[in-house]
Structure 1
Amino acid sequence: MAETTVRYGPSVQATSIHSTPTDVSVLNFALTLEHLETAFYSEGLTKYSDADFAAAGFKSDVRGWYQQILAHEKSHVETITAVLTQKLGAAPVSPCNYSFPLNDTKSFVTLSAAFETVGASAYTGALSMISDKEILTVAGEILSVEGRQSAWINSAPLGHNPWNGRFEIPLTMNEVFTIASTFIKSCPSSNPTLPVKPFPQLGLPGNARPGQNITLSFDQAGRTGDLFLVLFTADGPKSVSIAADKSVVLPSGDLRGTIFAIVSTEKDFADDSTTVAGPALLMIPFNENLTVV
């Protein structure tokens, strides 16, 4: 395991945290994400019927599988809440108010892939911060389910790659919250304060592909000096220099699957101390021959 951590770039960056959160903080952060996912699936399945899924070209069983995913997320909420209240004697966070860009059934399916991908990366990054072994086991159980749900969504309804590569991409709590916060409009004032702070948002074309010249959108906040677009992939980090006009040329090599893009002050490296903006999620689907589709 130690060898993997040293060899694999994203694992190193995910553990680069200046202060280690408590088990209560980590669980309440996980509960925040589970509330978000539960609200998303509840809204989508209420809004779109079996007929809507069929009209969008999805197979007849797809909505039923999504109903199972919703049941999983509700169970995760119940389990984490029980651990917080019964084992740790802590107050759990309550659901927030959310806004999801659901325009049609296809947008629901596409966004669900993003949620499950981020969820798997969130749990992967959080494992090293959990000190209690029983809680660590619970987190590992949820992580496995998040990964399986992500694999099903990408391969069945979307017809793309079920996995991204050799490793899951771990993210820090701040990185995850940067993505999640775009869907959170307000939260109860009574909620426990979480030790997280979102970074400025990073905008990039959602249909970007390897070798393309794209223009980024982010607040440079008066920073001078070189900036890099660091791309966390399942096979390790890649980076490209950002031009003065905020354009970059994406690598033309093995760039596929789920990619978390971060504007960083360091080349080939990004953590909470070097991040200027992001992460932004870029999903580049590929087929069984590793060809981008």
Structure 2
Amino acid sequence: MAAGASGASPVSSVDPRSATGTPGVIPPGNPPEPHNPYLNTGNLTQPEPAPYVPAGGINTNGTPPVYQALSDFDWQSINLALNQEWIELDLFQEGLRRFSVADFEAAGLNADDRFLIEFMAEQEIGHATLLSNILGPHAAKMCTYQYPFTTVREFIDFCQKLTRWGESGVYGFIEHLDSRAAAQMLLSSITTEARQQMIFRQFQGLFPMPVWFEVGITQSMSWTLLSPHIKYCPAENPHLVWQNFPTLHVTNNPNGTDLAYGAAITHNRTSLSYPGREVTFRYDAPGQVTGYNNSYITNTTATGPAKFAMWTSQLNTTYTPLYDSGYAGDGTVKAVQPDGTLFSNLNPTLNGTIFVALVDEDLYVTPHNYSLVNSHIVAGPAIYQAG
């Protein structure tokens, strides 16, 4: 989905099960760029409004910044981010409460590592306080949560996945906020969360940063991933307007918890999967109860059945056709992991902790208009552990 990147055009006609050719390869090339009247020459085109200050920019005229939501979009987006900060605070503390020193040490994590998790929880106190102050008295309060882990390794794996969608969820909307002042404050917190995600990857023995660019997703995709883990919330917590898509399961997801590697700054293993790998999915029908207090219902606004797997990683959205629908009953389907590189053959497009959804159309999108995919999602996203 990035200009200049291979793997950004609609899917090829190559049969994904064919023994010839490369499964999932996308032809290179992008739609033409829209017209830009600004001359990108590096020379000034307007007088400087002040010495050493080029013309342009936003909120550069000395007007005092307003660190508050300025629209419904702002408020609902930042409140979603606040719900994410609250669960991260509880999650990090819950892992330290639930598992013993012996449990952590058996997973290769010592007292210093446990203190780092404790410190990350303290960071979340600051993040939640910041966003609550921006939103005011009606900001979401902390809730009661439910988690899918029973071991330290599963706890660490869930942490690195949850911080991935928390980080990516903010990247997807931050540049669309009306309040640029609030966006700058939010950016200060999400850059810390990016470091947390890398730490949890290192605790898990994964390569800490196997991509050149971090991916952004939509608010509804982030809320779909977050909401099943929120069990109860205070009655006064505001209802979030974002969509809950039907749940998507990757039934043969590469499993980072099965690695033989222990916690370390890095290991020379940069991927867990490969282009052409057959991936199997199971997805739920819409209409399922989800979210806190059972107050949300999953739904889809797609107008047709699922036809493509939509892989979102780095700056690209890439599609591969679905096949073998119903091979083990209704709601199951297969696709292959696509091939492709971003700017260089040194950088596989799909790597790290990425997102996959099932869609009814292979819509061309770029990072700044990625929310257009929401109306085409049949199920998902799910996290795919490509590396």
TM-score by length of 1: 0.83
Shift of 1:96: 2.2
Say whether the 8 Å CA contact 1:167–1:235 is kept in structure 2: yes
In structure 2, the residue matched to 1:12 is none
* Separation in 2, partners of 1:275, 1:217: 14
Match of 2:239 among 185, 190, 193: 193
After superposition, the Cα gap between the structure-2 partners of 1:242 and 1:5, relative to the gap in structure 1 and judged at 3 Å, is closer
Extract unaligned runs of 5+ from structure 1. Answer: 10-19, 286-293
In structure 1, the residue matched to 2:46 is none
1:82 is aligned with what amino acid?
N
1:261 pairs with 2:363: no
Once the two structures are overlaid, the 10-residue window that deviates more, 226-235 or 274-283, is 226-235
In structure 1, the residue matched to 2:376 is 274
Match of 2:317 among 228, 237, 244: 237
In structure 2, the residue matched to 1:92 is 139
* Separation in 1, partners of 2:200, 2:249: 24
Say whether the 8 Å CA contact 1:258–1:282 is kept in structure 2: yes
Shift of 1:261: 0.2
Match of 1:247 among 323, 326, 334: 334
1:138 pairs with 2:185: yes
Q: How does 1:1-293 map to 2 (within 5 A)?
A: 21-85=72-136, 90-155=137-202, 157-204=203-250, 205-207=252-254, 209-210=273-274, 211-219=276-284, 227-243=307-323, 244-245=325-326, 246-251=333-338, 254=348, 255-267=350-362, 269=364, 271-285=373-387
Q: Which has the higher helix share?
A: 1
C-alpha distance after superposition, 1:105-146 (max 9, x if no partner): 111111110111111101111202322222111111011101
Shift of 1:202: 0.4
Structure with greater contact order relative to length (CA < 8 Å, sep ≥ 6)? 2
Say whether the 8 Å CA contact 1:32–1:95 is kept in structure 2: yes
Say whether the 8 Å CA contact 2:223–2:243 is kept in structure 1: yes
* Separation in 2, partners of 1:228, 1:198: 19
* Separation in 1, partners of 2:304, 2:221: 23
Q: Secondary structure at the match of 2:384?
A: strand
C-alpha distance after superposition, 1:3-28 (max 9, x if no partner): x975677xxxxxxxxxx843222221
Once the two structures are overlaid, the 10-residue window that deviates more, 248-257 or 170-179, is 248-257
Q: Secondary structure at the match of 2:220?
A: helix
Say whether the 8 Å CA contact 1:234–1:258 is kept in structure 2: no
Once the two structures are overlaid, the 10-residue window that deviates more, 103-112 or 268-277, is 268-277
After superposition, the Cα gap between the structure-2 partners of 1:64 and 1:237, relative to the gap in structure 1 and judged at 3 Å, is same
In structure 2, the residue matched to 1:288 is none
Q: Secondary structure at the match of 2:239?
A: coil
* Separation in 1, partners of 2:162, 2:76: 21
Once the two structures are overlaid, the 10-residue window that deviates more, 216-225 or 36-45, is 216-225
Extract unaligned runs of 5+ from structure 2. Answer: 9-70, 256-272, 287-301, 327-332, 341-347, 365-371
Shift of 1:215: 2.0
Larger-Rg structure = 2
Q: Secondary structure at the match of 2:383?
A: strand
* Separation in 2, partners of 1:277, 1:202: 5
Q: Secondary structure at the match of 1:199?
A: coil
In structure 2, the residue matched to 1:289 is none
TM-score by length of 2: 0.64
* Separation in 2, partners of 1:139, 1:7: 29
* Separation in 2, partners of 1:145, 1:199: 28
Q: How many residues align?
A: 267
RMSD: 2.4
C-alpha distance after superposition, 1:232-275 (max 9, x if no partner): 01141222111133122223563321210010112265711111
Shift of 1:150: 1.1
Percent of matched pairs sharing the same residue: 25
